């Protein structure tokens, strides 16, 4: 079996077993050092398939990714508290949230004009969902952050994907894989379900690829819009560096002299000279990296980590909680049993560190993650760190937000 594992010493064995389940005799599989188990495919896992596309290897959050921008202003000259307050007032965070501003972008027309049969009568609902949510951030580990670079300059970093549009596309194609209609409720499998694979030349495979492509454009457009809004809040400073990548996606690439469909789920593409923004946790250093040419890089399908990697489950961190709806349909979190993380202490530490924290929750606290420097170490000479970014402002959905998404 053609498998490459970075950082096996810090990866839970079930993630390795899951990669082996997903990788066939003609395929190439990779685990990066931040890997952990995911639904049907490990997060931090890249697989090269011949003539097949893996829905499980892209995941529910199609085209989730990162964008980072270095501005020409100094972080010490910015009123971070004021900026973070305006970020959460301007940008919508949370599951199902719609944008308070109407965003006009060519990708919305592309979604409207998608020439596929698979979505059937649900196509218009997909269009409306995409139109309403473009430029919103979502929940979970998605964020809008401010950083201070080594030279003192202010950086903006964002992390999110194609929002409800991408999630609904995925559940629709899961339904189709089960012999149902796109709009039917899918029967979602467990973590160790076999991956869902489509022949790329089949009608379903072609329709999925068409949706994948437009969801990728949609995610890029959303991250661009959010960064532009933060720049506007800052007074429209100049841009010195811009780095923008998907890490939940599929690409047609050449490896080992042959063409493959490579799915990366929680993996940053890192071809020689290609730069990527890798977020850490809300308190630790994030980085800008550049892919390097090496034997290990090629064996690793030119893929690297997308973050520090989870070591504590959301359930363990949060404890037992229930979400109850009020008469207006809003969900409120009710704590039934305490978890491992006291988020009040996390807030207190943020204040001590001088980090302006907005939102977040116990399941996104730093103790839920590995140390980014550890996972970068295990990637060896496949990447080079170009910039180190210290967090000074963190904005996420609040802890009361119910998050049904799986990855």
Q: Per-residue pLDDT tens for 297-337?
A: 999 999 999 999 999 988 899 888 777 777 666 667 777 88
Phi and psi of 253, rounded to 5°? -140, 160
Residue with tokens 């390097």: 292
Is a pLDDT exceeding 80 seen at residue 200? Answer: yes
249 confidence band (pLDDT: 50, 70, 90):
very high
Q: Which residues pair with 304 in a beta bridge?
A: 268
Residue of 116 and 265 predicted with greater confidence: 265
The model's pTM is: 0.93
Task: Count CB neighbours of 311 within 10 A.
Answer: 15
Q: How far is Cα of residue 162 from the mean position of the Cα atoms in its chain?
A: 9
Would you list the domain boundaries of the chain?
2-55+63-97+141-156+228-398
| pLDDT at residue number 405 | 43
| pLDDT at residue number 329 | 67
d(C-alpha 195, C-alpha 312), whole Å: 24
CATH H-level superfamily of 2-55+63-97+141-156+228-398: tRNA-splicing ligase RtcB (3.90.1860.10)
d(C-alpha 73, C-alpha 236), whole Å: 10
Is a pLDDT exceeding 90 seen at residue 96? Answer: no
Q: Looking at 4-18, 76-90, 266-280, 390-404, which range is the least confident one?
A: 390-404
Residue range 373-388: average pLDDT?
A: 97
DSSP β-ladder status, 153-160 and 143-149:
antiparallel
* For the chain, the helix, strand and coil percentages under 3-state DSSP, each to the nearest 5: 35, 30, 35
| pLDDT at residue number 126 | 92
Task: Count CB neighbours of 49 within 10 A.
Answer: 23
Q: Looking at 90-94, 269-273, 392-396, which range is the least confident one?
A: 90-94
């Amino acid at each position: 079996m053609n498998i490459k594992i970075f950082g096996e010493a810090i990866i839970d064995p079930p993630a390795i077993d899951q990669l082996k389940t997903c990788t066939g005799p003609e395929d190439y599989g990779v685990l990066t050092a931040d890997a952990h188990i995911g639904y049907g495919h490990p997060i931090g896992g890249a697989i090269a398939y011949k003539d097949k596309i893996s829905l499980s290897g892209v995941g529910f959050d199609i085209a989730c990714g990162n964008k980072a921008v270095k501005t020409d202003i100094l972080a010490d000259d910015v009123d971070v508290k004021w900026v973070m307050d305006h970020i959460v007032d301007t940008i919508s965070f949370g599951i199902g949230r719609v944008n308070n501003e109407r965003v006009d972008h060519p990708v919305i027309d592309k979604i409207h004009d998608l020439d596929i049969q698979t979505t059937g009568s649900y196509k218009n609902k997909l269009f409306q969902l995409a139109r309403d949510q473009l430029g919103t951030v979502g929940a979970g580990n998605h964020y809008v952050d401010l950083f201070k670079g080594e030279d003192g300059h202010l950086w903006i970093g964002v992390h999110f994907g194609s929002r409800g549009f991408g999630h609904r596309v995925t559940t629709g194609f899961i339904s189709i894989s089960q012999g149902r209609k796109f709009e039917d409720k899918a029967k979602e499998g467990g973590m160790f379900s076999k991956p869902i694979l489509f022949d790329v030349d089949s009608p379903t495979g072609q329709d999925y690829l068409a949706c994948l492509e437009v969801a990728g454009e949609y995610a890029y457009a959303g991250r661009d819009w959010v960064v532009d809004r933060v720049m506007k809040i800052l007074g429209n400073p100049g841009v010195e560096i811009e780095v923008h990548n998907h890490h939940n996606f599929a690409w047609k690439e050449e490896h080992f002299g042959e063409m493959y469909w490579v799915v990366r789920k929680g993996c940053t593409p890192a071809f020689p000279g290609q730069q990527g923004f890798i977020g850490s946790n809300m308190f630790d250093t994030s980085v800008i990296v550049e892919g390097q040419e090496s034997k290990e890089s090629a064996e690793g399908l030119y893929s690297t980590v997308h973050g520090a990697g989870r070591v504590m489950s959301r359930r363990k961190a949060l404890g037992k909680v229930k979400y109850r709806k009020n008469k207006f349909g809003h969900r409120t979190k009710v704590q039934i049993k305490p978890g491992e993380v006291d988020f009040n202490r996390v807030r207190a530490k943020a204040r001590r560190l001088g980090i302006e924290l907005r939102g977040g929750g116990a399941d996104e606290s730093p103790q839920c993650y590995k140390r980014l420097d550890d996972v970068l170490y295990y990637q060896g000479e496949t990447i080079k760190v170009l910039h180190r970014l210290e967090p000074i402002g963190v904005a996420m959905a609040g802890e009361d937000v119910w998050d049904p998404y799986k990855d």
